[in-house]
Structure 1
């Protein structure tokens, strides 16, 4: 959510440093896919958003940071791994004896079927950035692509990744994603399971001329490139420690986590300046998400009530194989308690989404308020309602809203004068890590000014989204490149909050949009094939500048965004993101922001020529605060030769 390249780099370096100091040289990340084809996707919280440009830039910054810390990156999941449903195969014990309903639970792996244009312009795009930035390895996905398992898919691994993109590293399978020996060798897998690739099996493949020595050497070289480039065998790396061994590698990362948490909170609504808070007299806090989980922050379920679509405690991380154990978790209630102590605020709370009470008394009944949503809300100057949705690896979401939480919000909102959810102000905090409560507190009280932006579109209704989770073995990506804001723009669907949206406690104005002259371009790139594709694909062909001024009464950061519209003949979405920067501005301060435009940014995929092509014609560049809050536009003509 941050859209802050420096924050991304700082966090990635800290993560890599912790891995390195524990003796781990390969980091299974970054995750650029799932991209965000469907709002119901279970692993959307692991990735960098539904726009390939944004996703690619953040992926590249992350990889460069990992490399600087001496850790090998592993981009995933390659490719079209857009849902969790049916991701596994049915080659399991007892499958044939199962009932049809039982078998249905193991249908898979599903095949993501997409055309060549969609593959290149949407899903392959971030991997170009990854390869160009020095990617060490790629994780091929569990799913099939166009009918072939990802880890034995020649088109994906050999043609697109290694040839077209010039990727020099190794391809590694996701868990249980390798299904065969010879097929995966031929398809482009470089590191595999000894179940399929025993010494005798590899020898037999070579002796029977099924595996060429050239391909075998290629596999070996790709496996050793990481050792040579990252010097992981130079004897200077810390020893690898056991998974549960205690080695304190945290340094001062708690401060970074808190700062980046603040930069990741999106202010969605702030009617009549409800935020920041000004020492409220009595505050009511509602919802399980405000407090600690019964079994602590490292459990994905309540030992009494079990798990569900919401989490019975403060949610600050996702679930699945990438989840780390918190050393501690600062909940919103914990942070608010210390602030209330400083301000003299009376604090009441109900840490439950479905609280009901038939009690007629409470501790201190002679002077107290009987516990309940209505009673506490009516007696509060400010009401804070905290809600969440639990999602992660292994399953997709079953709902986009929760009736219990909606009822709680409405009950509190109907009774409180200043509810900071769904009435006067809304904050979207996502998964902020161990300092989550402190980060939220900093924004609530105006210690820090929110500056994050949405990395996907929030619709008004479930029916406004055009893609649901596929529940069949064949998942056809018939929407093409039209996901998220591309779909909303193309079909004139009004969102609740658009891609790139986010408010601040101050205001910003935009002036002086300028574009440098663009020389005539060849239709196709002609540069030498290199890491990341043709060298001239990455040439900067122009610079777009815009001035941003803080016109409000507080210091704050703005995220100016640049969108581009192609000529109609290029048959592209209405607009596409082509630049963003975070700029910190004092009151009344003005700054000029520069967006470099690469040749790649004005191309489309020519299916017939199998090349990135430039279409001559008029291109419109628009700058603003979101994909639908565009303040300035300028049209230029690009000539081709």
Structure 2
């Protein structure tokens, strides 16, 4: 601290202000004379993109945050954080932009997959573990988005009206837990809360976060969320990002010189930036080189531990490999796995194992056959597979290969190129068709394109109208398709040239799509049904697409896109041993749930998707997940659903009755409740002892396999108080046991469990029911406790 004060005293006003705004898209400037190196930030939270998005520098892709929360394991979250801390150091990143602890208030939230849970305690504990892991490697975090960014519609302008009690008990609670853990950064949201834009929200950023909670880290704006000079400076913001359209710089210097802002306010912000720089090795002593690490192993473990088995009739799973002769794998997402969500959470992984690949490798002696069945993707998948040579990408003077044929980056260019030196990108590959007929090619991205197949120009033009904004270009891509007759086995060159406006190559998203000749939609379903009918078991992979779940927009419906529901029902009618794998980051409707033998939720499972799926389906690993959010039977059953602002406002009129709290109040039974999940063994809860600080639960594994159980503790007033939820999550812990082994677990109960916000935190005396359960709707043992 003395070093920080000494260095602060050496800086001019202009130098101080320079440290409070991005010098480019991802970093703060260096001041060499005081030993301060440039602080570099990177998007997360499932991987570390770095300062670009270049596929020639791949990033480990962990499962989505909802998947991490589904493991209900703080130590696993810490291991995931430690891995990304090491990845950050490898990529020269000082601050990872995450984790996201906004509430899963409505399943229509397009960014639902990037949030942990609908419960503030589960979200806060998983986030605290993740932050502890990242920061343990000397890399900062920015828990986000403070606060109320629980949907995407009009997120830049909407005013979220949150009652004070709900704000404290639900929405701020995970942020408070991370601050308590010692988090080094917080990111403020785009939206306003209770009338004030978050980047200028002094009551929340200064009064609560810094003054009341004692937060000594930095508050960084979401990118381009800071739009006021005085308001943001006086409202508790410390860093305005990025350089583009930044409201500070010379304007902030002038405001101090004019007396509109005391220089002490600037000093506090700079002090926080210097403190962060010390913590991450950008000021003074540099951190040593990172040790070796196995990212694939961590990604695989998180995936298997996150999968939630919600249905398993007649012990269909696990499958016995020795008893199988033919397995049908069905669905577009079985070959084109959706391993991560759209938007800023995207990275380019070093590899992706599809469900079909994973099962084919694991069942080497079994006939594993594939049918697409139904294709929900509005865009053609990027060209990939053995028929394609690795696609060579040439950007200016730099070349590299990709597989599949897609390139995307934001910020730094591949090879360190200057955007002003790049005016074209060329993707070249050789394609050897394995079937003759009409092949469909597609171009998506922005700029002007030329597509040539076998030397013939098939498309030339621009996909977007002039003047389309950069955010719309990235988050709302368009596609152009063309068809051409090709012969089987005859190689053809494919060249896609993209022309960009000089200087704008810092943002690129380009895909060369391909689809071979195939039946029409009816024919694809019929083909899948025939395959399923002749197989021992049918594994149907269904899910959402990037055009359904992504940052930048909310979902219009919870229904699976396309004809996937019809596909599942038809396959289930043809084969009673139908296992449905749901590859979606957030709840979807499953009208066929009672028709199928088993349902496994895999979220967005990261780069090890198919390998982890094979392990779980074949019993090599137990599905370890429990639901971190409620899955509805019908859309209209959801206690909170709509996301459309009215007169620029979204009012959280339900107060604290969000998520399962709202479901319990409504009395409507969901399809699958919060906390639900099945394993491959059975458990008997023997006894529970409780006091004000902990619950001690003893249970026995009564099955034939070793297994893991998530013991969940819920607390509720007795009798039920209409002003409070019927019960709420108070603690949880994972236990493992061998067959017939009895284990005891101690689960702490934090003081906040028995408190409400009423102008301050107040302990509510009375009698409480303490429930040990397997889900919020599956109590096993109940005790009473008088407070």
* TM-score normalised over the length of structure 1: 0.82
Alignment of 1:156-171 (within 5 A): 156-171=204-219
Tell me the SS of whatever aligns to 1:581: strand
From 270, 273, 276, the equivalent of 1:223 is 273
Deviation at 1:389, TM superposition (A): 1.2
- CA deviation string 1:245-290 (max 9, x = no partner): xxx9983211121122110000111100111112312111110111
Per the alignment, in what secondary structure is the counterpart of residue 363 of structure 2? Answer: helix
1:613 aligns to what SS in structure 2?
strand
**Aligned equivalents of 1:464, 1:87: Cα separation in 2:** 25
> For the Cα contact (< 8 Å) 1:354–1:408, is it kept in 2?
no
Correspondence list, 1:8-47, <5 A: 8-33=77-102, 35-47=103-115
Task: Render the CA deviation track for 1:364-415: whole Å, top value 9, x for unaligned.
Answer: xxxxx99812211111110110001131211111221125100110111111
CA contact (8 A) 1:83 1:469 kept: no
After superposing on structure 2, the runs of 4+ consecutive aligned residues of structure 1 that deviate more than 6 Å are none
Which among 358, 371, 378 is matched to residue 350 of structure 1? 371
Q: Is the 8 A contact 1:449 1:555 kept in 2?
A: no
> Residue 434 of structure 1 aligns to a residue in which SS?
coil
1:605 aligns with 2:757: yes
| SS of aligned partner of 2:749 | strand
1:512 & 1:438 partners in 2: Cα distance? 38
Structure 2 counterpart SS, 1:566: strand
Offset at residue 545 of structure 1 (A): 0.3
Q: Which residue of 2 aligns with 1:375?
A: 530
Residue in 2 aligned with 1:487?
Answer: 662
Q: Does 1:261 align with 2:261?
A: no
CA distance in 2 between partners of 1:6 and 1:505 (Å):
22
Q: Does 1:134 align with 2:134?
A: no
User: Helix, strand or coil for the counterpart of 2:303?
Assistant: helix
Contact kept in structure 1, 2:142 and 2:184, CA below 8 Å: yes
Cα displacement (A) at 1:213: 2.3
Which residue of structure 1 lines up, in the alignment, with residue 234 of structure 2? 186
Deviation of the 1:159 alpha carbon:
1.6
1:138-167 Cα distance to aligned partner (Å, 9 max, x none) = 110011111211100111111221122221
Counterpart CA distance in 1 for 2:525 and 2:179 is 61
SS in structure 2 at match of 1:57: helix
Alignment of 1:411-426 (within 5 A): 411-421=570-580, 422=593, 423-426=596-599
Q: State the SS of the aligned residue for 1:451.
A: coil
Distance in 1 between residues matched to 2:781 and 2:710, nearest whole Å: 15
Q: Which runs of 5+ in 1 are unaligned?
A: 89-108, 240-247, 292-312, 360-368, 519-541
Instruction: Write the distance in 1 (CA, Å) between the matches of 2:104 and 2:539.
Output: 30
Residue 542 of structure 2 aligns to a residue in which SS?
Answer: coil
Structure 2 residues not aligned, in runs of 5+: 1-69, 377-436, 438-523, 581-592
Tell me: CA distance 1:570–1:206, structure 2 relative to 1, closer, same or farther (3 Å): farther
Pairing 1:595–2:637 present: no
On the 8 A contact 1:18/1:249 being kept in 2, the answer is no
| CA distance in structure 1 between the aligned counterparts of 2:213 and 2:779, rounded to whole angstroms | 33
Report the equivalent of 2:604.
431
Q: For 2:764, which of 590, 615, 624 is the aligned residue?
A: 615
> Within 1, Cα distance between the matches of 2:116 and 2:654?
21
Give yes or no for contact 2:712–2:772 (8 Å, CA) kept in 1.
yes
State the alpha-carbon separation in 2 of the partners of residues 54 and 485 from structure 1: 13
Q: Deviations over 1:546-594 (max 9, x none)?
A: 0021000111100000001135569310111011111111111111111
Question: Contact 1:110–1:144 (CA<8 Å) still a contact in 2?
Answer: yes
Q: Equivalent of 2:651, from 472, 476, 498?
A: 476
Go from structure 1 to structure 2 and tell me whether the alpha carbon gap of 1:198 and 1:543 turns closer, same or farther (over 3 Å shift): closer
Please give the alpha-carbon distance, in whole angstroms, between the structure 1 residues aligned to 2:269 and 2:642: 36
Instruction: Return the match for 2:776 from 619, 627, 633.
Output: 627
2:624 matched to which residue of 1? 451
* 565-574 vs 428-437, which moves further: 565-574
Contact kept? 1:79, 1:140, Cα under 8 Å = yes
How far, CA to CA, are the matches of 2:186 and 2:575 in structure 1?
A: 52
**CA distance in 2 between partners of 1:354 and 1:327 (Å):** 25
Local SS of the residue matching 2:729 = strand
Residue in structure 1 matched with residue 713 of structure 2 by the alignment: 562
> Are 2:336 and 1:337 equivalent residues in the alignment?
no
Structure 1 equivalent of residue 351 of structure 2: 328
The root-mean-square deviation of aligned C-alpha atoms, in Å, is 2.0
Distance, in Å, in 2 between the alignment partners of 1:340 and 1:64 is 39
Q: CA deviation at 1:474?
A: 0.8
User: Is it true that 1:405 corresponds to 2:474 in the alignment?
Assistant: no
Residue 29 of structure 1, CA deviation = 0.7
1:592-619 superposed Cα distances (whole Å, 9 cap, x missing partner) = 111112212211101xxx2111011112
Looking at structure 2, the residues matched to 370 and 151 of structure 1 have their Cα atoms a distance apart, in angstroms, of: 50
How do 1:257-296 and structure 2 match up within 5 A? 257-279=299-321, 280-291=324-335
Q: Distance in 2 between matches of 1:340 and 1:67?
A: 40
Q: Quick one: structure 1 residues 232 and 203, their matched pair in 2 at CA, closer, same or farther if it must change by over 3 Å?
A: closer
- What secondary structure does 1:430 align onto? coil
2:576–2:597 Cα contact (<8 Å) kept: no
Cα separation, 2, equivalents of 1:579 and 1:425:
29
Q: How does 1:512-551 map to 2 (within 5 A)?
A: 512-516=687-691, 518=692, 542-551=693-702
Residue-pair matches, total: 547
Distance 1:172 1:283, change over 3 A: same
Q: 1:229-240, aligned counterparts within 5 Å?
A: 229-237=279-287
Q: Distance in 2 between matches of 1:12 and 1:595?
A: 23
The answer (yes or no) to whether the contact 2:77–2:127 under 8 Å persists in 1 is no
8 Å Cα contact 1:49/1:455 also seen in 2: yes
User: Could you tell me how far apart the structure 2 residues matched to 1:204 and 1:29 are?
Assistant: 33
Within the candidate set 145, 151, 163, 1:83 is matched to 151
Q: Distance in 1 between matches of 2:340 and 2:151?
A: 19
Q: Is the 8 A contact 1:21 1:238 kept in 2?
A: no
In 1, distance between residues paired with 2:181 and 2:282?
Answer: 19
User: Is the contact made by 1:544 and 1:596 (CA closer than 8 Å) also made in structure 2?
Assistant: yes
Cα separation, 2, equivalents of 1:171 and 1:36:
23
| Matched residue SS, 2:543 | coil
User: Which residue number corresponds to residue 310 of structure 1?
Assistant: none
CA spacing shift, 1:370–1:580, aligned 2, 3 Å: closer
Structure that is richer in strand per residue: 2
The residue aligned with 2:28 is none
